[in-house]
Amino acid sequence: MIYTVTLNPSIDYIVRLDSFVHGITNRTTSEEYYYGGKGINVSCVLAELDLDSTAYGFVAGFTGDAIEKGIRNDRIITDFIKLKHGISRINIKIKADEETEINCQGPHIDDMEMERLLQKIDRIASGDTIIIAGSVPNTLPDDIYERMLERIKYKDVRIVVDATKKLLVNSLKYKPFLIKPNRQELSEIFQTDVKTEEQIEKYAGELQSMGAKNVLVSLGGDGAMLIDEFGVKHKAGVLKEKVINTVGSGDSMVAGFVAGYEKEKDYSYALKLGSVCGNATAFLSGLATKEKINELMEKFNSAFPEFC
């Protein structure tokens, strides 16, 4: 079984305007909402790839009920902890001449509720995969990733971590199967301006020396680079279509990579499917769909025959 962990789920409320003017009433041209959170996004795209997953995390109030009902389907088991107080956050994404985001804090999580999550982590068995992704609510301890991974360190669990800065670095001692920093996050971790392909490869290698097996670096419009556990470098470009939405693109890449490796046990194929899923989300208003993934897979094979 694949487990995803989203500590601070949200409803992402997207509003579109021709322009956004401060200090007056602005009228939208359209609105959309999506059930968000990095782990939830991974579960949703895994479902499009016909893989089952169990979604762990915390939900609260009427928004938490909406998130749980909204993502539950035949491929996603929702096993969230329902908090006693507060509501799950609503994040506002303003898309006008510029993109502006307002991300809320989320509900309070007490020690007993945190322990309930750790007890769920205890159920994860050897042979399973856990994907921990996203930020930590300010009411949880900074070492919550480590506390979760400590519970399974003696089991043969495939660990995937998609997080930033200290959260990512402190997880490396648990030898995660996959981490997915982007270029900016590499720069932040190593306190330097990472620009060139050689620098990316160098610092990805340093993360491997700290414990990571595979390092997948997303490069936005320049594609992605994978340094696999054998030290082999793989590169993938991006397809040329109009970018509609970048939110969730990295999560979709993680889902595609995990699904690709699960199906083929081949890193080149995993990178290809991860790249296609990331592209599919970028070219849609929501997350990647099965139809868009299949369409882009054909285009990817034509554009990058080295992956065939």
Distance CA 52, CA 39 (A): 13
- Other Cβ atoms within 10 Å of 22 Cβ, number: 5
3-state SS string for 39-66: HHHHHHHHHHCCCCEEEEEEECHHHHHH
74 catalytic? Reply is no
Sequence-separated (6 or more) residues with CB below 8 Å from residue 126: 155, 156, 157
Residue whose tokens read 């930033």: 164
Query: Which of 128, 218, 148 has the alpha carbon at shortest distance from 6?
Result: 148
Please tell me which residue in 18, 228, 251, 266 is annotated as part of the active site.
251
Q: Which string of b and e fits 24-36 if b means at least 16 CB within 10 Å?
A: eeeeeeeeebbbb
Distance CA 1, CA 205 (A): 29
- If you ran DSSP here, which 8-state letter would residue 21 be given? -
Sequence-separated (6 or more) residues with CB below 8 Å from residue 244: 282, 283, 284, 285
Distance CA 50, CA 60 (A): 28
Q: Provide the annotated active-site residues.
A: 251
